[in-house]
Amino acid sequence: MSLAPPPPDPSLPPVRINLFSDTQSRPTPAMRAAMAAAEVGDEQRGEDPTINALCGRVARLLGKEAAMFLPSGTMCNEIAILTHCRPGDEILAHESAHIATSEGGAPWALAGVRVVGLPGPRGQFDAETLRRALSPRGYRYAAPQTLLAVEQTANFGGGSIWPLERLDAVAAAAREAGLATHMDGARLLNASVATAIPPSRYAAGYDTVWIDFTKGLGAPIGAALAGPRAFIEAAWRWKQRLGGAFRQGGIAAAACLYALDHHVGRLAEDHANARRFALLLEEIPGLAVEPPETNLVFFDVGALGISASAFAESLRREGLLLSAFGPARLRAGFHLDIGPAETEEAAAIIRRQAARLRG
Ligand SMILES: *Cc1c(COP(=O)(O)O)cnc(C)c1O
Write out the chain's pLDDT in tens, 359 residues.
Answer: 567 777 778 889 999 999 999 999 999 999 999 999 999 999 999 999 999 999 999 999 999 999 999 999 999 999 999 999 999 999 999 999 999 999 999 999 999 999 999 999 999 999 999 999 998 877 789 999 999 999 999 999 999 999 999 999 999 999 999 999 999 999 999 999 999 999 999 999 999 999 999 999 999 999 999 999 999 999 999 999 999 999 999 999 999 999 999 999 999 999 999 999 999 999 999 999 999 999 999 999 999 999 999 999 999 999 999 999 889 999 999 999 999 999 999 999 999 999 999 88
Are the CB atoms for 54 and 258 separated by under 8 Å?
no
Atom of ligand 1 nearest to the CA of 212: 7
214 lines ligand 1 (CB under 6 A): yes
155 lines ligand 1 (CB under 6 A): yes
pLDDT at 312: 96
In this structure, the residue with its CA closest to atom 5 of ligand 1 is 73
Residue 38 burial (CB < 10 Å; 0-12/13-18/19+)? buried
The number of beta carbons lying within 10 Å of the beta carbon of residue 341 is 9
Helix (H, G, I), strand (E, B) or coil at 324: strand
188 lines ligand 1 (CB under 6 A): no
pLDDT at 326: 86
Residue 29 burial (CB < 10 Å; 0-12/13-18/19+)? exposed
pLDDT at 199: 98
Phi, psi for residue 92 in degrees, rounded to 5: -100, 125
Give, for ligand 1, the residue of 102, 183, 323 to mutate: max count of ligand atoms closer than 8 Å to Cβ. 102
Q: How far apart are CA 255 and CA 50, in angstroms?
A: 10
22 lines ligand 1 (CB under 6 A): no
152 lines ligand 1 (CB under 6 A): no
103 lines ligand 1 (CB under 6 A): no
74 lines ligand 1 (CB under 6 A): yes
Q: How far is the CA of 209 from the centre of ligand 1 (A)?
A: 13
Helix pair 250-262, 49-62: axis angle to 10 deg: 40
The number of beta carbons lying within 10 Å of the beta carbon of residue 101 is 16
Q: How far apart are CA 266 and CA 216, in angstroms?
A: 9
124 lines ligand 1 (CB under 6 A): no
Q: How far is the CA of 305 from the centre of ligand 1 (A)?
A: 31
